């Protein structure tokens, strides 16, 4: 793989030098030379397309890499098919090439490829999608929220959050009931980034999610929205959940100021005292019961 990619790098570098040298020629010779260099470029692209279609794994890796450096619309179809290649590197370079070409017809293939199990390849696919114009991305990605694949749903939610696409809020709210906790977390994160105050109630409800990650995400989202209606549920979770206490206190401090956590901290002391008092009463009751039984 390294040898093939190295050779392609040299070839592309030499092609670039040729294209730079064109401007040193006089006008009469420059037009002819431009045509010849363009022909060479087209021939290289054709060779790379053929290698990606029919080559062994090493050839496919080098071809996908080369097409990412020489993006051309002629390669869109073969690159889209390469997103299903058995080799991780081929899929990764193919997605990068499609991101450089930015042909709208390849977007559905890239979105479908978000099912990817390899996180490195998935990152490159996501990055490729983000290179397209926002108007092209949002509808295709919004529809992907309903696909029966957890990786696609969670990565689509993440993309919509990065794009801050407010019209996708209703679809993201549906994902708060998704059976997969990682999908619910990404939905909460996306809603945080979009920052629509209308979802405040749903985010407060998410504080009761069975997933710690989702509850943490909901705390961060409520902190970002900055609405005082979040204070009571944040106080409650700080008192009831030791694992999330520090995050809830930080959110309260952010919303109401440095001194705002003092009543909560005082409540901890009061709760400890109350627990101690109730424990003594329970023990007293047990002792009295024991004495009556003995007599």
CA dihedral 228, 232, 234, 236 (to 10 degrees): 180
Share of the chain above pLDDT 70, in %: 86
Which residue blocks in the chain are alpha helix, DSSP H? Answer: 2-21, 27-54, 57-69, 76-82, 88-101, 107-112, 119-129, 134-144, 150-163, 169-175, 181-194, 200-205, 212-225, 231-240, 245-256, 262-294
Per-residue pLDDT at 217: 97
Q: Quick: pLDDT tens for 155-189.
A: 999 999 999 999 999 999 999 999 999 999 999 99
**According to the model, what pLDDT value does residue 41 have?**
79
What single string gives the DSSP state of each residue in 101-122? Answer: H--GGGHHHHHHGGG-S-HHHH
Give 9 or 224, the one with higher predicted confidence. 224
Q: How confident is the model at residue 277 (pLDDT cuts 50, 70, 90)?
A: confident
CA distance 12 to 72: 14
Cα–Cα distance measured from residue 259 to residue 142, given in angstroms and rounded to the nearest whole number: 42
Q: How far apart are CA 102 and CA 76, in angstroms?
A: 9
Whole-number CA gyration radius for the chain: 29
Choice between 181 and 276, residue whose per-residue pLDDT is larger = 181
Average pLDDT score over residue span 105-117: 97
Which of 90, 96, 94, 17 has the alpha carbon at shortest distance from 57? 90
Closest to 126 (Cα-Cα) out of 63, 205, 186, 172:
186
pLDDT band at residue 290 using 50, 70 and 90 as cut-offs: low
Q: What residue spans define the domains of the chain?
A: 1-119, 158-258
pLDDT of residue 19: 63
Q: What's the CA gap between 69 and 101, in Å, rounded?
A: 10
Q: At residue 212, does pLDDT exceed 70?
A: yes
Task: Give the model's pLDDT for residue 265.
Answer: 79
- The answer on pLDDT for 1 being more than 50 is no
Ramachandran area for residue 193 (φ above 0: left; ψ -120 to 50: alpha; else beta): alpha
Question: What is the pTM for the complete model shown?
Answer: 0.81
Q: pLDDT for 32-83, tens place per residue?
A: 566 666 677 788 889 899 999 998 998 899 899 999 988 999 999 999 999 9
Give the range among 37-46, 115-124, 195-204, 213-222 with minimum mean pLDDT: 37-46
Model pLDDT, residue 43? 86
Question: 100: closest CA among 66, 59, 134?
Answer: 66
Residue 141 structure tokens: 């990605």
Segment 106-125 mean pLDDT: 97
Asked if residues 268 and 239 have their Cβ atoms less than 8 Å apart, the reply is yes
Output the average pLDDT for the chain. 88
What's the CATH number for 158-258? 1.25.10.10
Q: Specify the pLDDT at position 26.
A: 59
Identify the weakest region by mean pLDDT among 85-94, 152-161, 243-252, 280-289. 280-289
SS3 34: helix
Give the pLDDT of residue 289.
65
- % of the chain surpassing 90 pLDDT: 64
Domains 1-119 and 158-258 share a fold: yes
One of 1.10.3720.10, 3.40.1440.10, 1.25.10.10, 1.10.10.60 is the CATH number of 1-119, namely: 1.25.10.10
- C-alpha to C-alpha distance for 79 and 69, rounded to whole angstroms: 13
């Amino acid at each position: 793989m390294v040898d093939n990619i190295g050779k392609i790098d040299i070839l592309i570098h030499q092609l670039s030098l040729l294209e730079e040298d064109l401007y040193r020629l006089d006008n009469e010779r420059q037009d002819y030379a431009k045509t010849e260099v363009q022909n060479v470029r087209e021939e290289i692209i054709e060779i790379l397309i053929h290698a990606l279609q029919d080559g062994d794994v090493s050839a496919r890796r080098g071809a996908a890499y080369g097409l990412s450096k020489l993006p051309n619309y002629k390669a869109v179809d073969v690159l889209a098919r390469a997103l299903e290649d058995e080799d991780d590197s081929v899929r990764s370079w193919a997605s990068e090439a499609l991101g450089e070409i930015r042909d709208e017809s390849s977007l559905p293939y890239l979105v479908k490829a978000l099912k990817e199990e390899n996180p490195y390849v998935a990152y490159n696919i996501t990055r490729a999608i983000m290179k397209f114009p926002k108007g092209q991305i949002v509808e295709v990605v919004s529809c992907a929220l309903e696909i029966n694949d957890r990786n696609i749903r969670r990565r689509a939610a993440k993309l919509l959050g990065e794009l801050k696409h407010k019209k996708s809020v209703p679809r993201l709210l549906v994902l708060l009931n998704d059976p997969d906790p990682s999908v619910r977390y990404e939905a909460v994160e996306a809603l945080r980034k979009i920052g629509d105050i209308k979802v405040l109630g749903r985010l407060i409800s998410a504080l009761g999610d069975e997933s710690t990650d989702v509850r943490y995400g909901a705390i961060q989202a409520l902190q970002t929205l900055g609405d005082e209606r979040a204070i009571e549920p944040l106080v409650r979770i700080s008192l009831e959940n030791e694992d999330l206490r520090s995050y809830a206190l930080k959110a309260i401090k952010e919303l109401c100021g440095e001194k705002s956590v003092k009543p909560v901290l005082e409540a901890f002391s009061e709760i400890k005292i109350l627990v101690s008092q109730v424990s003594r009463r329970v023990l007293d009751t047990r002792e009295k019961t024991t004495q009556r039984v003995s007599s």
